[in-house]
Amino acid sequence: MAGAQIEEYFICVACGTQYPPSSAPPDRCSICTDERQFVPTSGQAWTTLRQLRAGWRNAFQRLEPNLYGIGTTPDFAIGQRALLLQTPSGNILWDCVSLVDDATIDIITALGGLFAIGISHPHYYTTMVEWSRAFGNAPILLHAKDSEWVVRPDRTIFFWDGAAKELVPGVRLIHCGGHFPGGTLLHWEAGAEGRGALCTGDILQVLPDNGHVSFMRSYPNLLPLPSREVARIAAVVDRFRFDRIYGAWWDRQIPAGAHEAVAVSAARYIAASDGCGGPSGAA
């Protein structure tokens, strides 16, 4: 029909989340208007995957045998990078970036494709459905407690519940909560030369010294978690064997001693929180 408007899958420029097809951008991004994120002072802005492919590229870095980082350049939205984990039972994509293009698909296909996608929390859902479709409708595993934040539903999305879920032998999702109710970590038993590695997104935020982590409800808005919640998260993590942590950005990782670093970091957080003069656990 003459004059008909073309529908696009609009992507929020601030957080990178892709919305269902529409002839005009959404009025608001529900991810950004939540108190954990923010709408920039310049206002809500939108782009599309076609526009991203014209001006941005993905860079790959080998972080250790069988683990690659994937990050968009120049930075887009929150600026996190994804992780591609190779295993004998199939490759896992951990967290997502908004850009998925032909070069990215070619490289990952050459590395064995994707068996499944796991995501730590809604800030990194981005274009997860596009990633799934690009790799034969690879299943997307999200914790059920964050189901309300899925803005583009799809048959490739599966919600899991409980404390942990095995993706392939030696690789499991761990429910941690905290930053979001469904906050999830990925545990890789064979990582760090067999000592175990934890991929944390920013559920456990690796700090600039690459020796500690922190725990927040909102990082940009500086909303802390109650100390009792931090103690609970530390207890969950303590049950797993790992010596290395990969955070959400290229330069954020704890190369060794990470298990002790989480315990020390949690104790430091709790001591600082409880020493501020308010009641224990007050946020």
Class of domain 50-274 (CATH, top level): alpha beta
SS3 content of the chain, % helix, strand, coil (to 5): 25, 25, 50
User: 0.85 exceeded by the pTM?
Assistant: yes
**Contact assessment for residue 257 and residue 210, using Cβ atoms and an 8 Å cutoff:** no
**What is the predicted pLDDT for the residue at 283?**
35
Domain spans of the chain, in order of start: 50-274
Q: Each residue's pLDDT tens digit in the chain (283 positions)?
A: 445 567 899 999 999 999 999 999 999 999 999 999 999 999 999 999 999 999 999 999 999 999 999 999 999 999 999 999 999 999 999 999 999 999 999 999 999 999 999 999 999 999 999 999 999 999 999 999 999 999 999 999 999 999 999 999 999 999 999 999 999 999 999 999 999 999 999 999 999 999 999 999 999 999 999 999 999 999 999 999 999 999 999 999 999 999 999 999 999 999 999 875 444 433 3
Which residues does 274 contact at the CB level (< 8 Å), separation at least 6?
Answer: 227, 280, 281
Burial grade of 102 (CB within 10 A; 0-12, 13-18, 19 or more): exposed
What is the C-alpha to C-alpha distance for residues 157 and 278, in angstroms, rounded to an integer?
A: 42
**What is the predicted pLDDT for the residue at 278?**
42
For residue 13, the tally of other CB atoms under 10 A from its CB is 21
Residues pairing with 57 in the sheet = 73
**What is the predicted pLDDT for the residue at 1?**
44
**What is the predicted pLDDT for the residue at 240?**
98
**What is the predicted pLDDT for the residue at 5?**
66
What is the C-alpha to C-alpha distance for residues 71 and 78, in angstroms, rounded to an integer?
A: 11
**Contact assessment for residue 226 and residue 281, using Cβ atoms and an 8 Å cutoff:** yes
